[in-house]
Amino acid sequence: MQIRKALPAGPLGFGAAPLGNMFRNIPDAEARATVDAAWDAGTRYFDTAPFYGAGLSEIRLGAALAGRRRDDYLLSTKVGRLILDDVEDVAARDQGEKGDIFKHGRPNRVVYDYSADGAKRSIDDSLRRMGVDRIDFVWVHDLAQDFHGDGWLGQFETARKGAFVALDRLRDAGVIGGWGLGVNKVEPVEVLLGLAEVRPDATLLAGRYSLLDHEAALQRVMPRAAAAGVDIVVGGPYSSGVLAGGAHFEYGAVPEAIRAKVEAIKALCAAHAVPIKAAALQFSLAHPAAAAIIPGASRPERIAEDHAALRAAVPGEFWRALRERGLVAPDAPLPGEGAGRRFATASASVTLPAPADRVWALIGGFGSLPDWLPFIRESSLAEGGRTRHLRDVDGHPIVERLTSFDERGRRYGYHILQAPFPVTDYDATLRVSDAGDGRARVEWSGRFIPAGVGDAEAVRVFQAIFEDGLKALAARFAG
């Protein structure tokens, strides 16, 4: 089941991680008042996890929702960790890159378990802690590098054979509405979307599609998820709070480069009278793959701010200025673009056994397509190199305009002005990044509005171009 079709009251949900005493010791009354405020404001989607305070978030959320009609709200939690009855030294817990964010939580021992039995036991434990009779969506939690380091793929394999299969069967049996990952990294989502043996319904991606950090997800996750019909729930839209006046980014101190970007966004918001929360929430929801967004809150007054931010009228000039000043990726969908029309997306990527600079030297020139793309027979530049006139192998003319170029970042974006393709409003990005060990990763993605054909047919056209083109490029570096 797609989560966008199950949401009872719009895309704005409530992320209950703070209820687990994230960063501070929150009084029970304040936690309860925050959930009550969310309900009174119209929030009907709530997300929690056993990890949040070793069960504390689930306990508090369940108590606050007790007495509410269960059919009136959507509830998601997570599996992958079991909360045991025995206690441990909270300060000694290994929480990966997340440090001691839940040092004020319960002292119960927390252990990883991505097996099928572990997933089912975790669901049963969550039902008991929250006092509910069902969970709508279940996310396999923190199956990524930030918690498991180099061993994350081994844990992923355990989940592939265990938790994924169990959740697929529970969904098919109607016990849960759907499942997916709940992670802070794009790589596990990429792997999940490539599996054929299971069918995830949605995925919670935290912190990776925000104003401050969205390029990797934009290139590698969002287009594939949209094409596969896998909804993305955006977590952490305020980047751990720094976009809402907080002191944290990625659960830690704010780096100077991020602080400078925040200040630049704040200045632009002030110039256009736009609340920064409105910019953050509305940007994250503008991508067609994004179905819901779940900012966290531990104080009642924050809830009203979030709802007001989502409703706020933001002028188009603000979004265009964000793009023009390089504060968002040039190909990131912005609110209001293609009003009433839904963009389709396609993307492909390949890892090559060559340094990124060497690959970029071959494909980074705006006039270089005939050097590596068999589909294109000739190319000539005009308007000072900003427009390229192409001819494909069948003799069809194609005209494209350069919209952005980043030599240091090894990336350029372009817009099609004329082509024999059944689309309009086509924008694409070609990017080369360092994949480590002397390897390069090439990502090619585009978004467009189908014209006279269905989304699937338009996507197939560009998916084939991207995939065939990158296969040809890989052949140049083979051996």
The set of catalytic residues is: 47, 52, 78
Q: Which residue from 228, 189, 185 is spatially nearest to 206, judged by alpha carbons?
A: 185
Q: Which residue from 190, 197, 249, 250 is spatially nearest to 218, judged by alpha carbons?
A: 190
Q: Which residue from 206, 233, 231, 209 is spatially nearest to 101, judged by alpha carbons?
A: 206
Contact 131, 66 (CB under 8 A): yes
32 C-beta neighbours (distance < 10 Å), count: 16
Q: Which residue from 74, 93, 92, 83 is spatially nearest to 56, judged by alpha carbons?
A: 83
Phi, psi of 286 (to 5 degrees): -75, -20
Q: How far apart are the first and last CA of the chain?
A: 44
To which residue do tokens 């045991």 refer?
84
Phi, psi of 463 (to 5 degrees): -60, -40
Triad 432, 254, 256: Cα angle to 5° = 70
For residues 240-273, one letter each, b for 16 or more C-beta atoms within 10 angstroms of the residue's C-beta and e for the rest, the string is bbbbbeeebbbbeebeeebeebbeebeebbeeee
Phi, psi of 337 (to 5 degrees): -70, 135
Q: Which residue from 146, 258, 190, 222 is spatially nearest to 441, judged by alpha carbons?
A: 190
Instruction: Compute the half-sphere exposure of residue 307: CA atoms within 13 Å on the CB side of its CA.
Output: 15
Q: Report the sign of the C-alpha dihedral through residues 405, 409, 411, 413, in that order.
A: negative
Measured in whole angstroms, how far is the alpha carbon of residue 73 from the centre of its chain? 23
Helix (H, G, I), strand (E, B) or coil at 168: helix
Q: How far apart are CA 247 and CA 253, in angstroms?
A: 7
Q: Which amino acid is at 182?
A: G
Write the DSSP symbol of residue 255: P
Residues composing the chain? 479
4 contact partners, CB below 8 Å, separation of at least 6: 11, 231, 291, 292
**231-235 and 202-206 beta bridge pairing:** parallel
